[in-house]
Chain A
């Protein structure tokens, strides 16, 4: 079943590692190389950025862990009273690391953890996974293998004899582990001091042995219990520290381990950052920034976020989706060569070929733009390449500026909306971002209601929000915001002035007091009505007027800056918007495709004969479709003879009646063969399986087999 194909050696030499390229794909062969390079460099930038984010987020966690380790370890070294006490109870210091359900992201965290530990604390770090350790023996084997390897890694070539002692030869037991540990520590002690310092200068003396259980939930309880009990017997000789990676909740420790075992652990809990926060940071750093020229369109972002929220909570997958977007964009959009940093833009625009200019002219957003120009300019744009290039550059620069402003104003708006009750526009900035990208946000109902709510904010909230906005706008790189900042500052001073002129207000207070006195229902109602009347007719206070003014101003900012990206000219170059492709690749529905192919073959095979109305299929459909359709009519078991008969009825009717009687027998055989093929294809697809219940029957495997 397996075949290896190797090209001949000569051939291989000839074909040097040709880097993958966008290649000569059918129609968009423009600037492929440059596009590919841009794409790669962009992706590398983004990748390093995400790694940095990850590191920053883990930093706190790692520091806590390290301090925990050093605490538990210093006790071991100094033999403090607490330590002796701990030893009396044979407690193993344990860190429970609650990581959340996004199991796929854990690998990265653990990797950085182990790097950190190996660099700073101890060379002896072992990783254990549940699937590798079905029994205590395997666990010990794995553990010792890793520990001894790491020893070799640290001291590299210095001792050959250790390489020879493979884990096969040592009997895997804790006592041999202890012997190994003693010899190792003694050796490093007895080594020439200079050497020791170079090799493990960062490590402490007699470093602890850290054992990391990556996925505690998937270990069998027996193995865990045994390991803990055994190693707790030897804790005074072997400074062991356990780290449990937990995906669910810390309660799981007590569910997995009985009290007698868990009492041997001295557990400290650590919580990693939640994946939602992680995602927010990533979105903040990747999308809401002007660092990267490439941007995601609304629908695409929505798809990515939905996959995250509804499927896996995995930030890694989100980033992977982002990578796919980049690749897809640069691959399919020939003009993406212009999707670069502003500094390179001019050069690239100038070197555009005529075909590429035509590509620009074909962009829908550009056509819209042209239509709006006066006729003289229209002609120039459509005929003169150089003119077009100048204009393109200007437009693209505009687009970059637009994005910068967009981000700042979006953050300002988010300051307002995120504090409103019930969050009509969403709590997270990503929701607001999606809403704004999708369509003109000020036309939505949610925006309307949030403005209304904003008009009811109290003063202190309003002032703090305005201050936040000022900070955001000041820190933004956009240059247009000077006047805006001025204006906001003016609002702030006005609010301060209000405070001094506060005394004049006081008319309504006594009326409320009156209100409390009334007990009669009729009178109460009456006064309330009056009260309402007076409220309605009452002039707005100064504060209220000012509040209206502020909200209106914010509204005007939104209308000016938060125009959806797909209304901007040339947005196709920077924004990736084909959500369907992305969804097809990341969130495919194989069953649906199969279903469509079987039920409606015309979808794929564009043939007139297959066209059908109302979803039924014609008798000319491929065999498998007919057989499938017939089997849908059956219950749990299907009689093959009936099935065959039905099939041949359908097929015969579909054939032209010119087949004469002589060949009808042969015809029968062919139909029989076709039927067999179709049925075994259905079996391969998993719709039916042979059944022993009744002779010549098959069982249906999909729903409907009642």
Chain B
């Protein structure tokens, strides 16, 4: 016991890692005003084991060995002896764990706090060598909480003097929290006591490693926790549901419009960002250099029948591009920008059949096309194709069917796939069958480079809408309309495409459009067309503009390439 407390940081860890039975977690979720200590996911035994492992890091290496061979988590998840150990010591429960609800002022507090602690006192470097893993951001929340308790009192004055009116108002509200805050700290210390009891039991158990699972602590803890919370429980539950039933969220009502700043559009944004220097360029370069040293290995592994998937924070576009330019110059390869909003599996397959295999002709379905490709690759063993997919988890490639097709494509022995994923839930796209088709080798390539290309197509709230509508939404909306309505839209789209070379094309005037529609037997009166157009406008499929002469002009706010591929899709479907 004394060993733990003596060693630095041990105490905080004691606070952090807890045994949490399921019912307690439930309570905790419901615990609106409750204790701020973050708890782990309900994986009691694993947590316990992990905790024991932690202790061992500090104290006893040999015991660790014994435990480790039994401990699945240790071997697969959070093994502390990971030489490359890129943060693998963080267990799943901590990554996105349950949290207590936050108050609205919380962010401002944190911000000011971060602002006021520039370059925190630098502790001796823990992050070298295998000890790295012992020091991970697990205890952050706790730490922050403690800091808040201080900062609320000590920094209040600063706030008042420097912050605008709104923040000041919020701080007044925060004052009322102050009392409860002290309550929190009380309960915190209580938790601490409990934990220490637990620590002692765990620690004694650790001497006989086979028995760490023995659970004399469970009932004890349960009863203690129950006593603590029983009386609160009923109204906590109510509060939880109250918080969730109403759609009201406690955030301030400020909007960007009230801010004097104009909305930026894509170009100015890009220009501005060019002015901002890239932070930590040297370090990022070093990271990239490390990844680049793996290129030849990737090449080898691709040839041995594996496919490679890259993950980690930061754009991997440049990395893949570099891989392409340095190693793939002499071979046939296909680059797919998965983040592109109008990409489809069909277009990928098309470019393979048309450009790689030089096949002219269409296919009834992607499956047929895939079959054709498979056959060709089987027949001709000299054919080789490298496929690079930036963002395999892009909007349009996410679907089950697209992934299935890509997986089957990648399982061909002479198709080498190297792809990147970014979304946190990307691995959920694949079930066992797809995974085995893909035959992935995972590579962590954290680059920290900004996602310039990838985010440029995103419809961010902050960027002025350039009006680009994703192909998928276009298709989806159209699918739900009547055949006549689809015909009307097609007419408009075709007309717009015909005029695409004319830069000053104002749009199709309503009268002309009405004539055309009548000729195509799509509408029989002015009114029906108008009703239809309203519907389009509601779905943001078209935009209307009044010309100088007062004539109404209709325009589809979609770029030409998207429109073209949309029309193609429609053709195929019909």
Contact = CB atoms under 8 A, between A and B. Distances in A.
Interface residues on A, range: 35 or more
Interface in B310-360: 311-314, 324, 328-340, 342-343, 347-348, 350-352, 355-356
B95 A617 contact: no
B395 to A, nearest CB: 10
Given A104-B433, A618-B119, A654-B115, A680 B334 contact: no
B114 A619 contact: yes
B96 A641 contact: no
A303 B75 contact: yes
A22 interface: yes
Interface stretch (A88-96, A486-494, A625-633): A625-633
A597 B283 CA distance: 13
Contact of B296 (A25, A588, A669, A685): A25
Contacts of B196: none
A602 interface: yes
B494 interface: no
Nearest to A102: B432
Contact of A703 (B96, B249, B284, B329): B96
Interface string B253-281: 11110110100100011001101100110
B95 A595 contact: yes
B559 interface: no
A421 interface: no
A169 interface: no
B461 A640 contact: yes
B160 interface: no
A323 B304 contact: yes
A306 B312 contact: no
Contact of B76 (A303, A593, A603): A303
Contact of A690 (B12, B286, B293, B459): B459
A668 B261 contact: yes
Interface string B133-166: 0001111100110010000000000000000000
Interface stretch (B171-179, B184-192, B435-443, B539-547): B435-443
Nearest to A580: B82
Interface in B386-405: 404
A667 to B, nearest CB: 10
A51 interface: no
A392 interface: no
A299 interface: yes
Nearest to B99: A704
Contacts of B451: 680-681, 684
A312 interface: yes
A84 B249 CA distance: 74
Contacts of B69: 298, 302, 434-435, 438
Interface string B447-458: 010110011001
A589 B432 contact: no
B76 A20 contact: no
B251 A639 contact: yes
B330 A11 contact: yes
Given A669-B272, A690-B460, A615 B444 contact: no
Given A15-B331, A616-B140, A635-B249, 16 more contacts: A1-B340, A7-B330, A20-B303, A303-B76, A578-B83, A583-B76, A589-B77, A604-B86, A634-B104, A635-B102, A642-B252, A642-B254, A646-B108, A669-B272, A672-B264, A696-B256
20 contacts: A1-B337, A1-B347, A22-B300, A298-B69, A302-B69, A303-B75, A306-B72, A306-B75, A444-B66, A585-B442, A592-B92, A592-B95, A597-B314, A620-B279, A652-B115, A673-B272, A676-B264, A685-B422, A706-B100, A706-B240
Interface of A: 1-7, 11-12, 14-15, 17, 20-26, 103-104, 131-132, 298-299, 302-303, 306-307, 310, 312, 314, 316-317, 320, 323-324, 327, 331, 434-435, 438-439, 444-446, 578-581, 583-620, 622-624, 626, 629-647, 649-650, 652-654, 666, 668-670, 672-677, 679-681, 683-687, 690, 693-698, 702-704, 706
